[in-house]
Amino acid sequence: MKILLATDGSAQATTALRTAASLLRRSDAQFELLCVTPELGLPKSRTPKNPQKAARLIEDYRKRIEVEAHEHLLRAKSLLSTLGIEAGMRVEAGSPASVITRTAAEYDLTVVGAHNRYARTNLGLGPVASRVVATAPGGVIIGRELSNVGRQWRILAAVDGSLASEAALSLCASALELSEAEITLLHVAETPWVNLGLDRDWFDARMDDIAPDDSAADAMMKSELQREGTALAEEARQQLERLGLTAGVMTAEGDPALEILSEAERGEYDLIVLGATGVADMRHDLMGSVSTKVAQAAQCSVLVVK
């Protein structure tokens, strides 16, 4: 298992490293720290009056930023060492989001902080983390502060029967320290009014025009959704059982992202695990995928697996 730990020296990156050190398995894992140095670009619209001076400026910047990057890496390496992890170091130049995404292809799992040192908000994801979650191959952990240190981990795994969902469970079992973790599998039935981008009151009012007071049909639909959801969650439980893990199952209906976030907050989970299909249709472009919404709004760490 090869794990890439991205850092820029920020508090958020350091939090992600600490969280990763707590959640990840140590045996048979190779850890490597990555710090990306942004390139200095001179305005293309202006031709330097002194090309040699401009070249020296760029070279001086490159040397200075590499020194700073190595300082970040050494501090991160020292931190991980105190937590029982020995990690290699590498420095790359370019756009942080692009470099991390490209480099992630060499690893099984990538860990990033929720923000970078240039982000001005404590909510959601910074631009680098957002891009990495959306485009990096394999698995990505958005590491946030662990608020319930001292008890067994609580992990919420969202399952929908997709290949991405199966891959998320497999990576979770192989990469995370789950020997004493409490795992809950959640399937959310995406009900028709959610698929249409409408609220339920609108949907129910129109359905009443077609079949007024058809409570039997409504009960039948709910029963079928419940049955399918329970079957999918049970298949996921059996998948984990084959991997030597036990889990509880639960189902819900509604907007998947909101239901996952609601349960994660209500149950005080430490980590949300979910698959991302990579679908880029119009609805996902406009509304954002479930994985993106969860990664943006969750208060705990999130593992997203393509």
pLDDT digits (tens, 9 = 90+) for 51-75: 777 777 777 778 888 899 999 999 9
Q: What is the pTM of this model?
A: 0.82
Contact between 127 and 217 under an 8 Å Cβ cutoff? The reply is no
Q: Is the pLDDT of residue 210 over 60?
A: no
Tokens read off for 229: 């959801």
Same domain flag for 40 and 165 = no
Partnered with residue 35 across adjacent β-strands are: 91
Same domain flag for 169 and 141 = no
- Determine the average pLDDT of the residues in 5-30: 91
Same domain flag for 171 and 292 = yes
Give pLDDT, residue 122: 55
Cα 270 to Cα 265: distance, rounded to the nearest angstrom: 10
Same domain flag for 128 and 169 = no
Among residues 88, 120, 145, which one ends one of the domains? 145
Cα 302 to Cα 294: distance, rounded to the nearest angstrom: 8
Give pLDDT, residue 76: 96
Q: Is the pLDDT of residue 258 over 90?
A: yes
pLDDT digits (tens, 9 = 90+) for 214-245: 556 555 666 666 777 788 888 888 988 888 88
Give pLDDT, residue 41: 64
Look at 78 and 206; give whichever has higher pLDDT. 78
Same domain flag for 164 and 77 = no
Same domain flag for 93 and 166 = no
Same domain flag for 113 and 16 = yes
Express as a percent the part of the chain with pLDDT over 70.
Answer: 78
Q: Which amino acid is at 179?
A: S
Q: For residue 270, give its domain range.
A: 146-306
Q: Is the pLDDT of residue 104 over 80?
A: yes
Same domain flag for 277 and 159 = yes
Q: Residue 85: which pLDDT band, with cuts at 50, 70 and 90?
A: very high
Same domain flag for 272 and 131 = no
Mind spelling out the 3-state secondary structure of 125-171? CCHHHHHHHHHCCCEEEEECCCCCCCCCCEEEEECCCCHHHHHHHHH
